[in-house]
Chain A
Amino acid sequence: MSELLDLNLVEASEALKNKKISSLELTKAYLKSISDTSSLGAYLEIVEDKAISMAKESDKKLINGTARPLEGIPIGIKDMFCTKDIKTTASSKILENFIPTYESTVTQNLWNDGAVILGKLSCDEFAMGSSNETAAKGNVINPWLKNKKMSPGGSSGGSAAAVASRSALAATGTDTGGSIRQPAAFCGITGLKPTYGRCSRWGIVAFSSSLDQAGPLTRTVSDAALMLNSMAGYDQKDSTSANLKMPDLMDYLDKGIKGKKIGIPKEYTQDGISEEIVKFYEKSIDLLKDEGAEIIPVSLPHTKYALPAYYIIAPAEASSNLARYDGVRYGARQEASSLDEMYELTRGNGFGDEVKRRIMIGTYVLSSGYYDAYYLKAQKVRRLIKEDFENVYKQVNYILTPSTPTTSFELGKKQDPLTMYLNDIFTVPASLAGLPGISLPVGLDNSGLPIGIQLIANSFDEPGLISTARVLEKNAGFNFIADGAAK
């Protein structure tokens, strides 16, 4: 079994195509992993029968030579993606029994390319959170330092924990302000948030429409490239989807970075950042330099306004996006004697505290009399942050930053929402600017927790992002496995 689990996505795909292994045995190995690691709580729903039948289908195609790019690869899906006939709850009580009659574009793309679904992965409720603690069904536990019950990060905490614990070969995530990159960093894996518009949002439960973007969580950069190849693509059903063809990212794995310019923003090493992270950040800079990159200090002067602007824009959109969960057509409804009372009870019982908090913030900042001071000002800040990046990309090709200011923390320890929001301080600016970013593990801190480093590329330069990330990955040589991973 363990040999099967040792294979990363690219290796497993190779082995499948060479008929060294079958999808059925691979899928069964992962289903066993899921049960072995069930105490982590990564999965909300396991679809064993469906996984087995999809694996058998894949094996037929592998045998008759019609295998597709992800043929037979067992993956987990964040519960924000609507999956046809499979319960989709967004980790919320308000959708606890919701079964979509439709399939999101991104997951459909994955199935069309031969991937096998294992199940649905926990996340923060409606993807609002940075610790996976807002999930209605409870925490997910980070497989690293398993006994200490560390946070896997959020909101794609279930996805990151599943990949790190080897209970999924890869997983999908969604990233609004860091929800792929931060949990990837906390769990010692790779997480890629593509350029806004790269992946269709159709069929993904909306949190903040102008920021939400789907992406992969994987063991390696090549795995991420292979996953994103399948996930991305123009979709007429999403008006904000980019009508641009993405080149085959697998062609960019070994392009190297000789002569490329890497920007080091001075604003990303401020107070509050862990010294050990700074140490690995500096080490990463040196590694890239050694590989022939030119290191250039840059400034993104509006960085400090990014987090406040984000926590206005995202809740504003969320307050409107979540208005549809009203108990009228689907989802949990609380019976009441009037329409208003039904709304109050349904939404009062259905949403958790963090979701309610953001709905209230969002409602407030859009209210007449406050709109200009908050929402409109935040949009102006967003434009300035975009311009910051545009200016810097005139001088450099990529920007290197830490992914998070700290490594993972114990579950239940960060109760103050504002402290929690600071987790996203390094990931939010790229989200506001719509830029692609990747977090990859470069080492462990003294307590044995993974440290993630983030690379940010210019819009639609996922190919360059992959090339650069591969160089850092190879040189950092992170090859640790979580103690809580399936054996």
Chain B
Amino acid sequence: MNNTSTLKPGHIQGETGIWEMVIGLEIHAQISSKSKLFSGASASFGSEANRNVSLVDAAMPGMLPVINEFCVEQAVKTGLALNAKINNVSVFDRKNYFYADLPQGYQISQFTKPIVGEGEIIVDLDDEEQTIIGIERLHLEQDAGKSLHDQHPTKSYIDLNRTGVALMEIVSKPDIRSPQEAGAYVKKIRSILRYIGACDGNMEEGSLRADCNVSVRKSGEEFGTRCEIKNLNSIRFIIQAIQSEAERQVDILEEGGTIDQETRLFDTSTGETRSMRSKEDAHDYRYFPDPDLLPLEFTESWVQDIKESLPELPDSLKKRLVKDFGITSYDASILVEEKDYVDFYQQAANGRDGKLTANWMITELFGALKKDNLSFSESPITSENLGELISLISNGTISGKIAKEVFSEMMKSKKSPSEIVKEKGLEQVSDDSEILKLIDQVISDNKDKVNEYLSGKDKLFGFFVGQVMKLSQGKANPGVVNKLLKEKLK
């Protein structure tokens, strides 16, 4: 194992050689819809248990599902954003199984004829590299309810608020080759979903979850037997779970064992996966077309209308940021990661120095938010205020150094930079006579050094600049100080 440091991500060094991971993801994205996929009940998060339940959701006798057209539109939008084929005719199937939080005894899903077919997305990796990941399909389905096992010593409680909430299942092709790629893929999907507003991408609230299919093989060999890790709700867990699962499989294979195809769960406390059910125990879901629903059909022109209404997507936006604002492709890829970032950036950089704005946003703002444990939406600094700060720097009102002081005050007080500059008297002094007064003071305080300088010790010039700046409490315009000092010390 001594050459571990040279291994590529997604490769595992075994006794018998290097193993490669093969990964496919199923992302479950909750559609940002006010009501559920087949009922009028609210789909909002965090309500009291069983408050958002209609007769249809509770599967009362004789109740029938009616498709929510808004959800269909979101699925088509997403399909278009994933450069995928839109199927103008698709079918809802019933996936039959018994569970206490599945009132109908079946989930309405799409099995053989999904609403969206094959597509592909570009995924940005850390080092400015990109890779293309294929999309197998996207289909619409209902979410199940929630079983609460910890409320009573012998009984389970059921909360049906989530029952029937609209999900899109986005299935990738087995094109992913490392946990890091898997993470980047999820990030990119999440970013696209947020851009088009089809899903809020909130993994903590469960709006976005992933099942990971993992297998390992020696390079060039056929795919190995895969295991599915269910229901991962953070990118960090996805990366950890895939790595640990692949290592587990390599250990088994290296010892001459075989992988059982099974469903596994990731234990966040141990960082390992454990078996949930084997293939033998797998449900026979008895899929068949739901006779309560007609096939979903729409016209090409309807799809075209949606296509034309799509907002600019991250890949194209990235190119535009580089072109319009002159920033690096790397900075642009960070900024387009989230719709919120890019909106903020474009507002702050509008009519200003794009590069300077990008630096301040990525280095200072992101850094400060991380330090204070704040999310981007909780930022005390608005795009307007950051833009104003950039202007103050660019027009010479404050120096870069003072700007940092102003910035940290902005983080604390949420005040605008000009307010802070005014209150604290931090305006840069550029007035010749003001600065000359300071220069005179420094010259008279340091007569010996002046003589040394005049007799050829040029290096001392920096010292004089420093002294003037110090005397001005950092407010003197360094350019003006330089110019006037040079004239004065001729």
A71 CB within 8 Å of chain B: no
A201/B62 contact (C-beta < 8 A), A239-B67, A320-B96, A323-B106 known: yes
A204 CB within 8 Å of chain B: yes
CB-CB contacts below 8 Å: A351-392 with B:
363, 366-368, 371, 375
Inside 8 A of B67's CB, which chain A residues have their CB?
239
Check A320 against B61 for contact (C-beta < 8 Å): no
Inside 8 A of A203's CB, which chain B residues have their CB?
62-63
Check B98 against A326 for contact (C-beta < 8 Å): yes
* The one of A201, A317, A326, A375 that contacts B105, using a Cβ cutoff of 8 Å: A326
List residues of A whose CB falls within 8 A of some B CB. 81-82, 88, 90, 95, 98, 100-102, 104, 201-206, 208-210, 236-240, 316-317, 319-320, 322-324, 326, 328-330, 337, 339, 343, 363, 366-368, 371, 375
B291 CB within 8 Å of chain A: yes
Check B294 against A330 for contact (C-beta < 8 Å): no
Check B64 against A320 for contact (C-beta < 8 Å): no
Inside 8 A of B286's CB, which chain A residues have their CB?
319-320, 363, 366-368, 371
Check A201 against B64 for contact (C-beta < 8 Å): yes
Which stretch, B52-60, B395-403, B455-463, touches the partner chain A?
A: B52-60
B254 CB within 8 Å of chain A: no
Least distance between A2 CB and chain B CB atoms (Å) = 37
* The one of A95, A237, A368 that contacts B61, using a Cβ cutoff of 8 Å: A95
Inside 8 A of B96's CB, which chain A residues have their CB?
319-320, 323, 366
B475 CB within 8 Å of chain A: no
Could you list 19 examples of A-B contacts with CB < 8 Å?
Answer: A90-B61, A100-B61, A102-B55, A102-B60, A202-B63, A206-B61, A206-B62, A239-B65, A319-B286, A320-B286, A323-B98, A324-B59, A324-B104, A330-B58, A339-B100, A363-B286, A366-B96, A367-B284, A371-B286
Q: Which 5 A-B pairs have the closest CB atoms?
A: A323-B105, A210-B291, A366-B286, A209-B291, A324-B59
Least distance between B54 CB and chain A CB atoms (Å) = 11
Question: Whose C-beta in chain B lies nearest to the C-beta of A201?
Answer: B64
Question: CA of A41 to CA of B65 in the docked complex: distance in angstroms?
Answer: 35
Contact flags B90-119 to A (C-beta < 8 A → 1, else 0): 000010101110011110000000000000
* The one of A202, A317, A326, A368 that contacts B62, using a Cβ cutoff of 8 Å: A202
Inside 8 A of B94's CB, which chain A residues have their CB?
320
Inside 8 A of A316's CB, which chain B residues have their CB?
288
Inside 8 A of A81's CB, which chain B residues have their CB?
62
Question: Whose C-beta in chain B lies nearest to the C-beta of A367?
Answer: B284
Contact flags B248-292 to A (C-beta < 8 A → 1, else 0): 000000000000000000000000000000000000101110011
Question: CA of A237 to CA of B64 in the docked complex: distance in angstroms?
Answer: 7
Question: CA of A323 to CA of B294 in the docked complex: distance in angstroms?
Answer: 21
B158 CB within 8 Å of chain A: yes
A238/B64 contact (C-beta < 8 A), A316-B288, A320-B286, A339-B100 known: yes
Inside 8 A of B59's CB, which chain A residues have their CB?
324, 329
Least distance between B340 CB and chain A CB atoms (Å) = 38
Question: CA of A375 to CA of B98 in the docked complex: distance in angstroms?
Answer: 21
Least distance between A379 CB and chain B CB atoms (Å) = 9
Least distance between A56 CB and chain B CB atoms (Å) = 29
